[in-house]
Amino acid sequence: MKIALITDAWHPQVNGVVRTLDTVIEILRQWGHEVLVVSPDQFRSVAAPSYPEIRLAMTRARNVGKKISDFQPDAIHLATEGPLCVSARRWCKRKKYAFTTAYHTNFPDYLAKRTHLSARFFWPYIRWFHGRSRAIMVATHTVRRQLVEKRLSQVHDWSRGVDLRHFSPEAAPPELFAALPRPIQLYVGRIAVEKNIQAFLDTDQRGCKVVVGDGPALDQLRMQYPDIHFLGHQSGEALAGCYAGADVFVFPSKTDTFGLVLIEALACGTPVAAFPVTGPIDILTEKSGVMAEDLNAAIAQAQGLSSGDCIRHAAQFSWPASARQFLDGLVPMETERKAHMSRRFLAKAIFANG
């Protein structure tokens, strides 16, 4: 199968969307499928306001469409709601080609955090962007219900996975951890306002706090919280070691739709403390995490959970299963065009016969 995947989120960005797409594309190619990735680095682009590492493609629909048309795909998937996918959507609509989309981020809440406007101002755009999609791929049942309530009912389940060979309790912690007071409370992810990191940094548990990741809020938080251990971006064995060496993983975000870091931490045997919001409520069980409006209380209680229970729960999330769900959600790009042609043919026949 030939799949054209258009995305505004791509390398060198480091986030859950890019990691998900990267992993699933690799598996699809191993299975013999051809995947064309159309991303911002292929066009003139500008830096996103307050997010210079995120590039926004500035191009016309016909330029995106030419790349898709030259590839002659069997299916088209628009992974994000940014300008590049808007151009691809416009081209698909013009050509009457069917396409699918994905809802990776709780976009209205994300934009509300960054603009200080109400999330309700952004829902009309979400309905417009996904309204013509033949299937909106969602990671959790909570997101499914949310979109259905917003009159976007064409949802398709697309979960996530974790590489248990890579993320395991056997990963060696950083040398720094040996000198830190316990319990070590860990955050991994983007360092940005929408991740609500300050809710974690303001907790008053004994021990110490470690923050792994990069982002536009990093310098400010380093100055504001000089006692916190900021390790910057980590990957591979170093990242797995951070998870495995921590006593509790803290997930303060309220805008994620899933949270890959949750199952990576669990795979390393580290229990999770989080707010009871989309993502954690769909992933965590009472044996693998504690969710509470009081993050302090959640952190304290999560430390008593069993590493073995966390590892067993994480084992339920498989990347090959995720790739299969993605494939099952795709639709032939000709479907909508053929349906349109059939309607035109029927209309002409009715007119010709009086």
CATH number of the structural domain spanning residue 260: 3.40.50.2000
In a domain, 167, yes or no: no
Is residue 347 scored above 50 in pLDDT? no
Percent of the chain having pLDDT more than 90? Answer: 82
Same domain for 40 and 137, yes or no, is yes
The count of C-alpha atoms lying within 13 angstroms of the C-alpha of 291, restricted to the half-sphere facing its C-beta, is: 17
Question: What mean pLDDT is reported for the chain?
Answer: 92
Same domain for 299 and 327, yes or no, is no
In a domain, 251, yes or no: yes
pLDDT at residue number 325: 98
In a domain, 243, yes or no: yes
Same domain for 44 and 86, yes or no, is yes
Dist. CA 31–CA 319, nearest whole Å:
13
Range of the domain at 126: 2-161+320-346
Is residue 180 scored above 50 in pLDDT? yes
Same domain for 57 and 29, yes or no, is yes
| pLDDT tens profile 188-223 | 999 999 899 999 999 999 999 999 999 999 999 999
Same domain for 193 and 111, yes or no, is no
pLDDT at residue number 269: 98
In a domain, 168, yes or no: no
| pLDDT tens profile 36-90 | 999 999 999 887 776 667 788 889 999 999 999 999 999 999 999 999 999 999 9
Q: Compute the average pLDDT of residues 239-253.
A: 98
Same domain for 135 and 247, yes or no, is no
Same domain for 308 and 332, yes or no, is no
In a domain, 166, yes or no: no
pLDDT at residue number 351: 47
Q: Compute the average pLDDT of residues 13-36.
A: 96
Same domain for 70 and 188, yes or no, is no
pLDDT at residue number 45: 87
**pLDDT band, residue 111 (cuts 50/70/90):** confident
Same domain for 147 and 184, yes or no, is no
Same domain for 129 and 191, yes or no, is no
Same domain for 231 and 116, yes or no, is no
pLDDT at residue number 155: 98
**pLDDT band, residue 354 (cuts 50/70/90):** very low
In a domain, 129, yes or no: yes
How many domains are there within the chain? 2
In a domain, 354, yes or no: no
pLDDT at residue number 67: 98
Is residue 353 scored above 70 in pLDDT? no
Is residue 350 scored above 50 in pLDDT? no
Is residue 250 scored above 70 in pLDDT? yes
pLDDT at residue number 334: 77
pTM (2 decimals)?
Answer: 0.89
Q: Compute the average pLDDT of residues 166-185.
A: 97
In a domain, 352, yes or no: no
Same domain for 136 and 190, yes or no, is no
